[in-house]
């Protein structure tokens, strides 16, 4: 699933291509992607509207329209949102096409059809519970050391689960949780209440560092993820643990272990994170 760095990369790559463009028409090939309103109403409400800007909240993309409505898109597992030349052949998994100029389309493609699209009044997220209940944006000024300390004081359970819980910190998924914990030197099975102050500081710094690094290298591409221009990311070449179970640790040489923790496949170094 695209996580914060991937969604931020999609946002940044789409922004110069769609900002101030008017959606002249929408072709809907699979209406199940549209969660609100009904597809017919969705088309009626969005056609003729200009895209004022694009924001990101956690793993959600928010296209602010000129009529004080927001097009909210969650890519989920295999969603892709790309700008294409109108003459480019359309893939069989393309479910929505937004006409944004006489020559270009904004296309939503999703092999597994898990993606979600909403059109709601700007700021009225009550129909999108996942968006409404998001926690801190980890790269914002509001997310400081004091903020994560307060979160940890009010939390129980494993540190891996803490990082994945979107109501704590928005945008972290399995890839970056593993990389963050490795960078911080913390075992993913650690009870969060056992962390020392120095470990909390290491965790905080690792969250910032790894997410910024993921953005720098334009996200992690293993199979489906591409940016708004259809280009793959490069952070998969920088991973220390995720997807490397059974291979030598790049720092100490010990064999990386793989386990299911917090319901997710997890890779860690028994020595560096012991």
Bridging pattern class, strands 69-74 and 34-36: unpaired
User: What's the CATH code, domain 4-132?
Assistant: 3.20.190.10
Q: Where are the domains of the chain?
A: 4-132, 145-268
In 3D, which of 71, 77, 74, 122 has the Cα closest to residue 98?
71
Q: What average pLDDT does the segment 73-85 reach?
A: 97
How many alpha carbons lie under 13 Å from residue 216 in its C-beta half-sphere?
8
Q: What angle do CA 138, 144, 149 make, to 5 degrees?
A: 100
Residues 2, 5, 138, 188: which is the catalytic one? 2
Positive/negative CA dihedral, 153, 270, 236, 262? negative
Query: Of 56, 1, 9, which Cα lies nearest the Cα of 219?
Result: 9
Domains 4-132 and 145-268 equal at CATH topology level: no
2 catalytic? Reply is yes
Q: Average pLDDT of 140-149?
A: 98
Contact 133, 167 (CB under 8 A): yes
For the stretch 13-35, pLDDT in tens is 999 999 999 999 999 999 999 99
What's the confidence (pLDDT) of residue 223? 84
pLDDT at 1: 81
Catalytic one of 3, 6, 8, 179? 3
What is the number of other CB atoms lying within 10 angstroms of the CB of residue 273?
21
pLDDT in tens, 91-130: 899 999 999 998 999 999 999 999 999 999 999 999 999 9
pLDDT of residue 53 exceeding 90: yes
Residue whose tokens read 């944004």: 100
Q: Which residues contact 273 (CB under 8 A, 6 or more apart)?
A: 181, 182, 185, 186, 187, 188
Q: What integer pLDDT is reported at residue 271 of this predicted model?
A: 98
Question: Is 3 an active-site residue?
Answer: yes
Level-2 CATH architecture, domain 145-268: Orthogonal Bundle (1.10)
Mean pLDDT over the full length of the chain = 97
Catalytic residue among 57, 59, 107, 218: 59
Model-wide pTM > 0.95: yes
Residue from 19, 165, 244, 264 carrying the catalytic annotation:
264
Active-site annotation holds for 264:
yes
> Torsion angle, CA of 224/34/264/193, rounded to 10 degrees?
130
- Segment 43-66 shows an average pLDDT of 98
Give the chain's radius of gyration (CA, Å).
20
Is a pLDDT exceeding 90 seen at residue 170? Answer: yes
* Cα distance between residue 238 and residue 50, in whole Å: 38
- pLDDT over 90 at 64, yes or no: yes
Q: What is the pLDDT of residue 274?
A: 85
Structure confidence at residue 114 (pLDDT): 96
pLDDT at 82: 98
Q: What is the pLDDT at residue 176?
A: 98
């Amino acid at each position: 699933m695209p996580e914060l760095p991937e969604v931020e990369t999609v946002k940044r790559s789409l922004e110069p291509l769609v900002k101030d463009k008017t959606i002249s028409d929408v072709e809907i090939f699979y209406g199940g992607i549209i969660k609100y309103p009904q597809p017919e109403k969705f088309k009626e409400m969005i056609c003729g509207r200009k895209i004022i800007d694009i924001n990101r909240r956690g793993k959600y993309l928010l296209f602010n329209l000129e009529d004080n409505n927001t097009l909210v898109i969650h890519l989920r597992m295999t969603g892709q949102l790309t700008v294409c030349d109108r003459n480019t052949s359309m893939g069989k998994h393309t479910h929505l096409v937004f006409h944004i100029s006489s020559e270009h389309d904004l296309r939503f493609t999703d092999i597994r059809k898990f993606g979600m699209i909403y059109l709601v009044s700007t700021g009225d997220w009550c129909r999108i519970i996942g968006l409404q209940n998001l926690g801190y944006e980890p790269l914002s000024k509001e997310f400081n050391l004091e903020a994560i300390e307060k979160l940890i004081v009010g939390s129980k359970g494993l540190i891996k689960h803490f990082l994945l819980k979107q109501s704590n910190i928005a945008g972290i998924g399995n890839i970056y949780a593993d990389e963050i914990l490795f960078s911080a030197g913390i075992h993913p099975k650690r009870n969060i209440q056992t962390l020392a102050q120095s470990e909390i500081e290491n965790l905080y710094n690792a969250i910032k560092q790894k997410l910024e690094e993921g953005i720098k290298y334009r996200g992690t591409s293993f199979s489906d993820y591409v940016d708004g221009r259809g280009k793959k990311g490069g952070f998969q070449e920088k991973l220390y643990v995720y997807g490397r179970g059974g291979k030598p640790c790049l720092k100490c040489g010990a064999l990386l272990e793989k386990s299911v923790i917090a319901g997710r496949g997890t890779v860690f170094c028994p020595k560096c994170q012991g």
